[in-house]
């Protein structure tokens, strides 16, 4: 299936209601408003296709960029490719749910994520912390260095309240994910969550939202989900 045909298929799947919702979350034109689940039959047909993924991602169309992440071949992508993708990610649904997810399926994931976290740029930092969340929720505990993750928790505790909003959100999710999915540091994550307390995320023309990692970790403990790992990173 070629690029033109995929764009036509995506356009046909678009819904005005979803388009409005994506725009309210930070997307802008061009976009069609395609439900992520509606992309699955198309993805099954195409499977992995990196050249097509690159063409779609380069359109700047939100739905095409999202679908690019679905059909990308992460193992075929280099650090430079991921840097190019994160530079074009203009809001968090692309940085955290397309780029970070795709990066999490590579062997260079931690190296690239560390670089982005240190960048000082809101969406790069957000993608870096989010990538660790995807990794921790999927890979064996033995694949991580506990002292490195402990230092990252300390960094979150010291800097979260002074970070940009999207980065704050990803950092809060990092505490939660370590607390639930990485057993060696469960106790430390719980302590960090309590020390951090409520995290306020400001939203344009909307009421601020409050994130409370400690409550969310407790909910998962109550549900018997401690140690939870996903089978796949990408759905």
pLDDT tens digit sequence for 100-129: 999 999 999 999 999 999 999 999 999 999
pLDDT at 44: 96
Q: What does DSSP assign to residue 23?
A: H
What pLDDT band is residue 204 in, cutting at 50, 70 and 90? confident
Give the Cα separation of 158 and 6 in Å (integer): 46
Q: Taking the model in full, what pTM does it have? A: 0.96
Backbone angles phi, psi at 26, to 5 degrees: 120, -5
What pLDDT band is residue 23 in, cutting at 50, 70 and 90? very high
Give the Cα separation of 34 and 69 in Å (integer): 14
Per-residue pLDDT of 147-194, as tens digits, reads 999 999 999 999 999 999 999 999 999 999 999 999 999 999 999 999
Instruction: Write out the two tokens for 136.
Output: 């921790």
pLDDT at 40: 96
Question: By C-alpha distance, which of 85, 67, 23 is closest to 235?
Answer: 67
Per-residue pLDDT of 56-112, as tens digits, reads 999 999 999 999 999 999 999 999 999 999 999 999 999 999 999 999 999 999 999
pLDDT at 219: 97
Question: By C-alpha distance, which of 48, 106, 49 is closest to 75?
Answer: 106
pLDDT at 48: 97
If you average pLDDT over every residue of the chain, what do you get?
96
Residues 6 or more apart whose CB falls under 8 angstroms from that of 224 comprise none
Q: Are 195 and 157 in contact (CB under 8 A)?
A: yes
pLDDT at 235: 55
pLDDT at 210: 96
């Amino acid at each position: 299936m070629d690029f033109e045909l995929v764009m036509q298929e995506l356009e046909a799947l678009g819904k005005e209601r979803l388009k409005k919702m994506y725009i309210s979350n930070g997307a802008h034109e061009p976009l069609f408003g395609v439900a992520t689940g509606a992309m699955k039959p198309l993805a099954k047909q195409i499977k992995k296709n990196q050249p097509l993924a690159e063409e779609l991602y380069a359109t700047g169309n939100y739905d095409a960029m999202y679908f690019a992440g679905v059909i990308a071949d992460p193992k075929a992508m280099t650090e430079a490719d991921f840097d190019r993708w994160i530079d074009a990610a203009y809001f968090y649904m692309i940085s955290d749910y397309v780029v970070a997810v795709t990066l999490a399926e590579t062997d260079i994931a931690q190296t690239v994520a560390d670089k982005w976290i240190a960048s000082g740029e809101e969406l790069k930092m957000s993608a870096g912390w989010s990538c660790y969340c995807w990794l921790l929720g999927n890979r064996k505990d033995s694949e991580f260095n506990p002292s490195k993750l402990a230092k990252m928790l300390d960094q979150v505790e010291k800097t979260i309240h002074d970070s940009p909003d999207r980065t704050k959100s990803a950092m809060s999710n990092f505490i939660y994910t370590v607390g639930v999915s990485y057993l060696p540091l469960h106790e430390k994550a719980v302590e960090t969550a309590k020390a951090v307390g409520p995290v306020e995320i400001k939203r344009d023309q909307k009421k601020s939202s409050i994130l409370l990692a400690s409550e969310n970790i407790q909910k998962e403990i109550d549900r018997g989900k401690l140690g939870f790992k996903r089978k796949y990173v990408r759905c």
